[in-house]
Chains A and B, each alone.
Chain A
Amino acid sequence: MKTLTFLARQAPFGSSSAKACLDMVLASAVFEQQVNYVFLDDGVWQLVRGHAPDGIGAKNTLAALQALELYGVDNVYALDESMSERQLTQAHLQIPVRLCTRAELGAMINASDVVTAL
């Protein structure tokens, strides 16, 4: 078993990165790897409650995010400063996440076997 860390850095809907990262996370979980799923930069926007993308013909990924727990993905983080820069708090989010600091994220990256940023 390896530790695979994923950095979700892009906003939802403007590109396909958000779903692409999520799919990699789920595939890794299905193969029973230790997964860290970290939202930072504009990636924190993926977590916000209330997405309604029907008008732009896009699929809502929040249902999949809510299923993370079922897949055994328990280590879900958001970089604290990415949240505060965007005026976001836990109360705005659809799923519970652990806030982490730069130092904690740096250490997590360092301790991982593979790190993928999308």
Chain B
Amino acid sequence: MSTLHIVSSSPFQTHALQSALKVVLKGDAILLIENGVYAAVDGPEMAQMLAGAADSSRVYALEEDLNARALPSLAKHVIKVGYTDFVQLVCQHHNSVNWS
């Protein structure tokens, strides 16, 4: 059984992502939506924070939210997905948590 952790606030603004990362287990997934997509920016701080999670769980970012915000770069291990994939992820994982 696995959990989809949906992170919807910016890691530069809140501790939502940090808290989610404390409880992420191997096989879980992280989906960045809304301002949460700022965690996908390609930089040493965010890369370090997310890379640890990426070893044991996939990290996704919602394309519509990324496009809206025009991030200068996207970290390599972050997978872009659309709303249809979002639905698939919800079905694929046993449950979800919204970290806002």
Q: Are A115 and B19 closer than 8 Å at their CB atoms?
A: no
Q: Are A115 and B96 closer than 8 Å at their CB atoms?
A: yes
B69 at the interface (CB under 8 A from A): no
A81 to B15 Cα, complex, angstroms:
14
Number of A-B contacts (CB under 8 A): 39
Interface size grouping (class) on chain A: 10 to 19
Q: Please give me the residue from chain B that is nearest to A104 by CB atom.
A: B23
Q: Are A106 and B97 closer than 8 Å at their CB atoms?
A: no
B1 at the interface (CB under 8 A from A): yes
Q: Are A109 and B97 closer than 8 Å at their CB atoms?
A: yes
With contacts A109-B3, A110-B1, A110-B25 known, is A40 near B95, CB below 8 A? Answer: no
Which residues from 60 to 118 on chain A have a C-beta closer than 8 Å to any C-beta of chain B? 79, 81, 102, 105-107, 109-115, 117
Which residues from 4 to 18 on chain A have a C-beta closer than 8 Å to any C-beta of chain B? 7, 9
With contacts A110-B1, A110-B25, A115-B3 known, is A41 near B97, CB below 8 A? Answer: no
Min Cβ gap A50→B in Å is 25
Q: A114 contacts which chain B residues (CB < 8 A)? A: 95
Given A102-B23, A105-B22: 17 more A-B contacts, CB < 8 Å: A9-B19, A41-B19, A81-B22, A102-B22, A106-B23, A107-B25, A109-B3, A109-B23, A110-B2, A110-B3, A110-B95, A111-B1, A112-B95, A117-B97, A117-B98, A117-B99, A117-B100
